[in-house]
Structure 1
């Protein structure tokens, strides 16, 4: 009796096992597919993150390169114009030396010649030193009036020069490389009233210069 019961139990267990086997076999491919999808999603997320980080790296690198270039430009500008204020303070000395050359000296020709020569040498040396720092005079005499480089303080009738030509330089203008240190103070030619046909009320002159003394 006992043997029959045991055999029945074994048979039932075997049948149950055989019945469960197909169900487990069906679940395994599903689990693998789910796991595969999960891995693919994680891979896509990792790739997206890597691409985002790479783009960020490119932006940061570009910004840093732009920063370096900007700093280099600023340093070059600083080196070029670091002495601008000092040179502006020296320019009045140049003016005084040039005025000194215009003053007639005394009757002692030898002493006057020596003094004048000394002033000329000092002026020449000073201009040479300024040129080393990039400061050079603006050539104005005989040039057309240019408000970017000239400050007209008066007009003078002239038959020898075209209208609006610089006929006299009262104070030299200076450039420092490509920057204007100060404009030249000049006298500008104009047509004589008789030849220009100026009317008493409004000449309609298209070349009128606004003269402002500063």
Structure 2
């Protein structure tokens, strides 16, 4: 009985170590099986709490509404401030147009004063010049008409109660028939420009009746 002898050549023996090494390398690339313990490590206390999307939207909406309210408040305040600023400008412009001639008219008051004094002096002179007096009187009348066009009016002080808002007392004097605190003489006329005092009237005020006499006595 004969035995079969298997003869391997040198090439076969040389390839065997390479094949074994390749098999070892392939086994290194195989993924490890997931550990059952790792999957069960997350217990009930470690569950991730997911936020409710409806609640998130509600919070965002609430924040947006609050911001909207703040913006609206700022806009309302800005509008109110602008309205007040506009009103102030309108009033300033109206006052400017109303009182723009105040300085010029104030300077003309001394001219009126001199004309009035000239008229009074002429009337007290025996040899008065009628033509000159008439001319001065006409000039004064024309100036007063110009004053009226610009809202300038005289303050009627004589015989009225003394008012420090419109009168300036230069003297006090007792009288026989006038109660105290009444204007008895007008030294210099006062003027108003619209509702503003241009110049107070310079007046003499009664200090009361002499010896305390009453109106009936």
1:174-193 alignment, distance < 5 Å: 174-191=191-208, 193=210
- Which structure 2 residues correspond to residues 107-122 of structure 1 after superposition, within 5 A? 112-122=129-139
Aligned-pair CA distance for 1:140: 1.0
The answer to whether structure 1 residue 49 and structure 2 residue 67 are counterparts is yes
Pairing 1:66–2:84 present: yes
1:35 Cα deviation from its structure 2 partner: 2.4
Q: Secondary structure at the match of 1:147?
A: coil
TM-score by length of 2: 0.68
- How much is the aligned-residue C-alpha RMSD, in angstroms? 2.3
Give the corresponding residue for 1:196.
212
The structure richer in helix per residue is 1
Q: Deviation of residue 149 (structure 1)?
A: 1.4
2:179 is the alignment partner of 1:162: yes
After superposition, the C-alpha distances for 1:41-73 in whole angstroms (9 at most, x for unaligned) are 222211111121111111111111111112111
**Map 1:131-170 → 2, pairs under 5 A:** 131-170=148-187
Choose from 96, 99, 105 the match for 2:117: 99
How far did residue 192 of structure 1 move? 5.3
Range 143-152 or range 100-109, more displaced: 100-109
Deviation at residue 196 of structure 1 after TM alignment: 3.0
TM-score (norm 1): 0.69
How far is the alpha carbon of 1:120 from its aligned partner? 1.1
Is the Cα contact below 8 Å between 2:177 and 2:209 reproduced in 1?
A: no
Moved more, 138-147 or 161-170: 161-170
Aligned to 1:76: 94
Aligned residues of 2:166 and 2:197 also touching (Cα < 8 A): yes
> Which ranges in structure 1 are unaligned for 5 or more consecutive residues?
1-26, 198-214
Cα displacement string for residues 69-107 of structure 1 (whole angstroms, at most 9, x for unaligned residues)? 121112222222222111111110110010010113676
Which of 1 and 2 has greater Rg?
2
**Distance in 2, Cα, partners of 1:107 & 1:34:** 112
Number of matched pairs: 165
Structure 2 gaps, min length 5: 1-46
- Contact map agreement 2:180 2:206 (CA 8 A) in 1: yes
Deviates more, 1:99-108 or 1:120-129: 99-108
